[in-house]
Amino acid sequence: HQQTLETCTLLIEAAAVAGDVDKVSSNFDHMVQLGHKPNDRCAAAMIRAYEKTNLLDKALDLLLTLEKDGFEPGVATYSVLMEWMAKMQLVDETEQILNKIALLGEAPPFRV
């Protein structure tokens, strides 16, 4: 039977937690082939997988591609990016993302 967006997202999240970028990418491609549009949770999982393998260029390429297709990042996606930028001590970039989260009317889910 056809996988739902939720099923696809869970598969992507599981592969991301495992740090398996190839599996994340193939699950993502499969989801798109099924006609599902990635949601915020899905995009965040993809970016988290790229973070685990330190592939910032791939993460930013993905984000640009998704945005061209009409995707609007939400708090989940921005939070993953913000944590990554903060780990790399990119203060200006972290502040920019924090401002985007604030524009969404949300308080970022900080981990202390």
Reading the chain (112 residues) residue by residue, the pLDDT tens digits are: 678 999 999 999 999 989 899 999 999 999 999 999 999 999 999 999 999 889 989 999 999 999 999 999 999 999 999 899 889 898 888 888 888 888 887 765 555 3
In this prediction, residue 112 carries a pLDDT of: 39
The residue assigned the tokens 């599996």 is 23
- Which residues are CB-contacts of 36 (< 8 A; sequence separation ≥ 6)? 4, 5, 8
pLDDT given at position 111: 52
pLDDT at 109: 58
Q: Cβ distance 82 to 108 under 8 Å?
A: yes
